[in-house]
Structure 1
Amino acid sequence: MAFKHRLLLFTLLWFLVSAAVLTTLSVRVWEENELRTQQSLHRELALHMRDDNPLMVGDDYSPKALSSIFHTLMLLGPDFEIYFLDPDGNITTSGPPIENVQRTQIDTTPIKQFLAGEPFPILGQDPLMPSREKVFSAAQIDDGGKVAGYLYVVIGSQQRIALSDPQSLLQYVPVVAGALIVILLFALVVYRMVYRQIIRPGRTMVKQIEDAALSEFRITPPLNFNAAELQDMASQYRRMMAVIQQQFIQLRVQEAQRREYLVQLSHDLKTPLANILGYLETWRIQHKEGQGMIDTAYHNALRLQQHLKDQLEAARSPSAKVVLSYQEIDVAELLSDVKKRFELSLRQKHIEMIVLSDAGATIMQIAS
């Protein structure tokens, strides 16, 4: 996968992950701040209810105080739920109808944390909805120096239910959409910058290097870029191409020296070889018998002369190329030629060589 596509894919994934994380964090921070604000504003609510209306008359609750508190509850609206708890957290009296209460016992640990002044928000159990925890206000009710119970006020009951309604959440859609659009624009700007500063100059550099390679690096490409990130790379490429140019020059010099040496060597060998061929040919004309070894020497000299001729032509032509081809050779003729080459040394050692081969057998030889 090309870097451009990887960058585009990474940008898209980064946008999606960022959008999800940003949305989640925003909702959590907003909810936590809302709960902290509500609990801070109503911190003294249960305390005022307790102090303004003495609740205890002997060992029982005061009906007059209860009537006043529930009247206050009606004035506050359905967003508050008031409960009277015994020291163990059991609900003894509730503002909402008792048949609507689904949890008859409340954990008193959050209430003790609230009374101890720990940082908000502190969430407590909701008697009407056991699966939810909500902010609250609480006050301790004492009777004769002992804890007689707690006044427990759940805050934001109906408001939290309304906020969980999808229709209520629609009002936050423009805010979230605006944040996502800002993130997308930022991603597009970053991609555009990377494309203009890195990807496009990189393509230009590759194109210039390819053009220089087609001309055997005789011309050094400019490799000038505005991006500072590519300056060091371009500098190293220019240095590398300078070395390549120097090596090409050295190869041309060595090739010229090699051709000159081959031409000189061919000329030096051509004259003595011609004399050898002349002597061998004269011998063959004057002597009709015992020409086996002379014929072998004569044919080898002819072959050597042809090789020298080919080398001389290749050395004189700088554009000459070696073309390889397959040539069919008779096996019997090849073995006979080998026998003739070693015939003199075999005779001196009193060794007789017998060559047997199938008639018509051939092999393929690569020849230039």
Structure 2
Amino acid sequence: MTTTSKLHVLPVWRRLHVRAALFATPLLLVLGAIMVLLLQHYSAQNALEASQRMNLGLAQYVADHQEPGLLDAGGQPVRSQVEEISMHVMKINPAVEVYFLDSQGMVQAHALEGLEGRNPVGTLVDLRPVRQLLEPGAGTVTRFPLLGSDPIQPEQKNTFSVARLTSSAGKSEGYLYIVLNGRKVQAESASLANSRSLQAMALAAAAVSALAAMVLWMAWRHLTRPLRQLADDLCAFRGADGAQGEASQGDEISVLRVSVRDMQNRIAQQFQQLEDSDRQRRELVSNISHDLRTPLSNIRGYVETVMLRGCVLDTESRANHLRTALRHVDLMGKRVGDLFELSKLDAGRVTPQSEVFCLAELLQDVVQNYRLAAQQRGVTVQLSTGNHAKARVLADIAMIERVLQNLIDNALRHTAAGGSVSLAIENQGDFMEISVSDTGAGIRSEHLPHIFERYWRAADVEDHAASTSSGLGLAIVKRILDLHGSAVQVHSELMRGTSFHFALRRAA
């Protein structure tokens, strides 16, 4: 199979690199969004830190440059002074908001204009950040931005600058508390939330994420190419065998996993087949040695008898000895011929030469050839063609004749005197079925799966039947019918007989 024909063995959407890219793309987009949010957050934090560091001394500067009398004798801020400070500070820097706190952190006064909602006067400000900024402990480092309470929005924190206020007597009376990130700045920041710069940042993050996904996809595609090619080869091989199964639902890893599992099973089967083949080879050598040694011993015995006692044997006895030796020679020749024929069939060196012939005529010829031998055994051989006397089939006539001969030989060996062997033809649509049945001893059910194995004999077979059989006849029958695409079937009952069936294709 060429590479082009294998490219689409595994669907594209099941490829490992495609699945990885589809998984990584949304993940990268989410990471990009998180990075944008983190960048926005830390940018705001940096802006707050920079603003607080730049304005850290603002409250102290304002407090130092005011005329005396900011606080009255009761420690309360003078309204005119408060308004003047707020006017100067908040006009110069509209981002800040100025508050006056008492020593407990409660807002006493402010100069906020256009205030809507609750009045921050009376709001308690947390003094812990204030003390941390004014009186840092020894060996401690103040981390900025340092957030304190926002009197306008107590639930939120904000950057601030603070200075201690003292009365004319030098007594601490409160704090000048300046919120650096006031309402106007927050309103402007909210209006900039959908600005073009932020939109451009989000688009840039999305583009970078998509580009990163594309780069990763290309890298994965390049790195997984050998794996993909191997999976394509395995998937194509499994598809040719018609066994894609579970692997067809996964990616290259699934193909490899299923293929390795199948390979393990196949290797185990092959090891078992090798063990069976080795066992059969040993049995074959043993059986061949036995089958050839027995007739050779008999031939040697009769020939030696004629040679040693030829002068004392009469003519009839000498002729009987020689006929017996000749019979054993014929038997040995038949066994050697069967073995040679089976070896050629197993090696695939025999090809059927199909031709059209009359099936009934072939069966009639075979039956006629066996009538005399059957009569000598006291067995009847008969043929039943029914209405199919002119049925014609397409097959190798010599091979089919060999099948019939082996089946009749087998039937005659296992049928006692007084029994019968029957051949019949039946129409099975596009096929003609041939059956060879006998009324012999039958075959046990546990022996049926083994009767087509070479040299197999049941332990309960009669010695006479075993001695006249090469043990290869049924094995040859099965090999020949396999070459014709036909399966041989056997049905048997003890003491009632055995029937072999096979079918041949009708001639057009």
TM-score between both structures, scaled by the size of structure 2: 0.48
1:79 equivalent in structure 2:
95
- Between 135-144 and 257-266, report the one with greater CA deviation: 257-266
Alignment partner of 1:282 out of 376, 385, 389: 376
Task: Give the 3-state SS of the residue equivalent to 1:56 in structure 2.
Answer: coil
1:148 equivalent in structure 2:
173
2:331 equivalent in structure 1:
271
Aligned pair in 2 of structure 1 residues 95, 201: CA closer, same or farther (>3 Å)? same
2:73 equivalent in structure 1:
58
Alignment partner of 1:109 out of 116, 128, 144: 128
2:209 maps to a residue whose letter is: I
Matched, 1:311 2:475: yes
Q: Distance in 2 between matches of 1:160 and 1:324?
A: 95
1:173 maps to a residue whose letter is: Q
1:188 maps to a residue whose letter is: M
Aligned pair in 2 of structure 1 residues 167, 324: CA closer, same or farther (>3 Å)? same
Where do 1:1-368 residues align within 5 Å?
A: 3-53=16-66, 54=68, 55-60=70-75, 61-62=77-78, 65-97=81-113, 100=116, 101-103=118-120, 104-105=122-123, 106-117=125-136, 118-143=142-167, 144=169, 146-157=171-182, 158-165=184-191, 169-198=195-224, 200-209=225-234, 254=277, 258=281, 261=284, 264=288, 271=331, 282=376, 284=378, 294-295=417-418, 299=440, 308-314=472-478, 323=487, 325=489, 334=493, 337=496
Question: Aligned pair count?
Answer: 303
Aligned-pair CA distance for 1:182: 1.5
Q: Distance in 2 between matches of 1:8 and 1:67?
A: 64
Aligned-pair CA distance for 1:254: 4.4
* Counterpart contact for 1:83–1:152, Cα < 8 Å: yes
Aligned-pair CA distance for 1:99: 5.4
* Counterpart contact for 2:21–2:213, Cα < 8 Å: no
Which structure 1 segments of 5+ residues have no match?
A: 217-229, 286-291, 339-364
* Counterpart contact for 2:439–2:495, Cα < 8 Å: no
Aligned-pair CA distance for 1:163: 0.8
**Deviation per CA, 1:47-86, whole angstroms, max 9, x where unpaired?**
0011111433533435664354123224324211101011
Aligned pair in 2 of structure 1 residues 335, 88: CA closer, same or farther (>3 Å)? same
TM-score between both structures, scaled by the size of structure 1: 0.64
Which structure 2 segments of 5+ residues have no match?
A: 1-13, 137-141, 242-252, 295-329, 335-371, 380-414, 420-437, 442-461, 503-508
RMSD: 4.9
1:136 maps to a residue whose letter is: F
Q: Distance in 1 between matches of 2:284 and 2:240?
A: 28
Aligned pair in 2 of structure 1 residues 31, 326: CA closer, same or farther (>3 Å)? farther
Q: Distance in 2 between matches of 1:23 and 1:161?
A: 21
1:110 maps to a residue whose letter is: P
Task: Give the 3-state SS of the residue equivalent to 2:38 in structure 1.
Answer: helix
Aligned-residue identity in percent: 22
Aligned-pair CA distance for 1:152: 0.7
Q: More helix per residue: 1 or 2?
A: 1
* Counterpart contact for 1:324–1:367, Cα < 8 Å: yes
Aligned pair in 2 of structure 1 residues 74, 35: CA closer, same or farther (>3 Å)? closer
Q: Distance in 1 between matches of 2:86 and 2:474?
A: 121
**Deviation per CA, 1:189-237, whole angstroms, max 9, x where unpaired?**
0111101221x32221133446778999xxxxxxxxxxxxx9xx9xxx9
- Between 21-30 and 59-68, report the one with greater CA deviation: 59-68
* Counterpart contact for 2:33–2:205, Cα < 8 Å: no
2:473 maps to a residue whose letter is: K
Q: Distance in 1 between matches of 2:488 and 2:104?
A: 104
Aligned pair in 2 of structure 1 residues 367, 69: CA closer, same or farther (>3 Å)? farther
1:149 maps to a residue whose letter is: G
**Deviation per CA, 1:268-287, whole angstroms, max 9, x where unpaired?**
69938x9xxx99963639xx
Aligned pair in 2 of structure 1 residues 298, 151: CA closer, same or farther (>3 Å)? closer
